[in-house]
Structure 1
């Protein structure tokens, strides 16, 4: 029972810290614009990647060339996979002590 309470409180603290960081970052970004990297068109525009997703970013692994950039500059909440991985790491840390 104590372990569940510790895990719950740890996860809550981790989520609260993440939200506080995002709020601080959002406030800072409003005051001064961040420089963005200039990304050229894909090396082979004939590949024709299409998606119905609202947001997508596909990079070539070795060179880092952007193959698809759809709504990448918009701020959106973290995906469910990010939340699951955060919980996984917290539970692993709690298990280790």
Structure 2
């Protein structure tokens, strides 16, 4: 009898461990299934975003081309802006202009 009792306890403990492991296996399988569903959902969502970005990118380039043709500056406008900038620099007393000889 003395040998049978420890063996029964060991058998009982191992059966409980097996049941616990089976429950863990089921829980992990359920979690894996949920994660796979989440991945599929995110992939679908990402596909929609990529498609939307492509569409927006096409629209954006078309708008940039239209706006670029509208904003071409004349040489006169550019020269007048440069004159104003030079006048501001000349008016600033803190700026000291030096003449540099190109041929050395």
TM-score tier (shorter): 0.3 to 0.5
| Higher relative helix content | 2
Structure with larger Rg: 2
**TM-score, length-normalised on structure 1?**
0.32
**TM-score, length-normalised on structure 2?**
0.30
| Higher relative strand content | 1
**Higher RCO (CA < 8 A, seq sep 6+):** 1
